[in-house]
Amino acid sequence: MNRKTIVAANWKMNGDLSLVNAMTAALNAINIRTEQQVVICPPAPYLGALTQANQNPGVAIGGQNLSEHQSGAYTGEVSALMLKDLSVQYVIVGHSERRSMYAESSELVASKTKAALDQGLTPIVCIGESEQEREQGDTEKVLSEQLNPVLATLNSNELSGVVFAYEPVWAIGTGKTASAEMAQQTHRFIREHIAATDTQAADNVAILYGGSVNAGNYQELFAQPDIDGGLIGGASLKVEEFKKICLAE
């Protein structure tokens, strides 16, 4: 199965209009290969500015979070419909920071994933284990528990429209990175776990690696058979470094 390579930028709560302008100017000037998709996920206030400034058809805009509700008295929340109204195409769901800092359960992540799909957005569903969980040998158990509510909520067509991102919590923003072999082994487990529910969907879904991906290690990581790109944090705030990753061969 030929899956697209996805290079997704998660700016987290960083950036400003100056970065929006610098990043779009740099990306507007390059050719993104047809077998690759670049996604920029800025803080919500900059979604409109990025959408307007982006002129590269190979670059899509994504949100960092969404509500499981369509509308209502949910002060501070943003719905999938609102993101769609801004021409947003992707949205990150269940990032480890949302799970740990805001107590988002895997069941809530599944509901948010369904809400995104219902409005035609592509959810980037994040899963990953802590350093302690890995050291205890619980990586596959943790990943299964995070995946199962999503697998139980979606039908085959919906599941094929999801992007998953494996982000070992111990490697996010720490400078630590799983070796390419370690990351591939975990990605293979994730694909096999999805295949136990739906073989076709498992072949179709892109699984990204997220954990201190940068210009120095992305090539080795992306070369692995079950790693379909990266969810990139710190390096996505550096225009020239991120542009280099976007031009990955």
Is 76 annotated among the ligand-binding residues?
no
35 φ, ψ to 5°? Answer: -90, 15
Q: Does 54 belong to an annotated binding site?
A: no
Does residue 212 have a known ligand-binding role? yes
Among candidate residues 104, 129, 167, 187, the one labeled active-site is 167
Could you count the other beta carbons within 10 Å of the beta carbon of residue 244?
Answer: 16
Q: What are the distances in angstroms from CA 221 to CA 95, 197, 213, 226? A: 20, 26, 8, 10
Catalytic status, residue 95? yes
Using an 8 Å Cβ cutoff, are 80 and 47 in contact? no
Q: What is the domain range of residue 99? A: 5-246
Domains of the chain: total: 1
pTM over the 0.85 mark: yes
210 is in an annotated binding site: no
Q: Can you tell me the distance from the alpha carbon of 12 to that of 234, in angstroms, rounded to the nearest whole number?
A: 9
* Nearest CA-CA partner of 85 in 122, 124, 119: 119
CATH number, domain containing residue 144: 3.20.20.70
pLDDT tens for each residue of 160-185: 999 999 999 876 666 666 788 999 99
**pLDDT, position 169:** 84
Q: How far apart are CA 106 and CA 147, in angstroms?
A: 8
Please pick, among 68, 95, 104, 129, the residue that the annotation labels catalytic: 95
pLDDT tens digits, 100-149: 999 999 999 999 999 999 999 999 999 999 888 888 999 999 999 999 99
61-78 mean pLDDT? 98
- Would residue 145 show up in a list of annotated catalytic residues for this protein? no
| DSSP bridge pairs for 147 | none
Q: Is 173 annotated as a binding residue?
A: yes
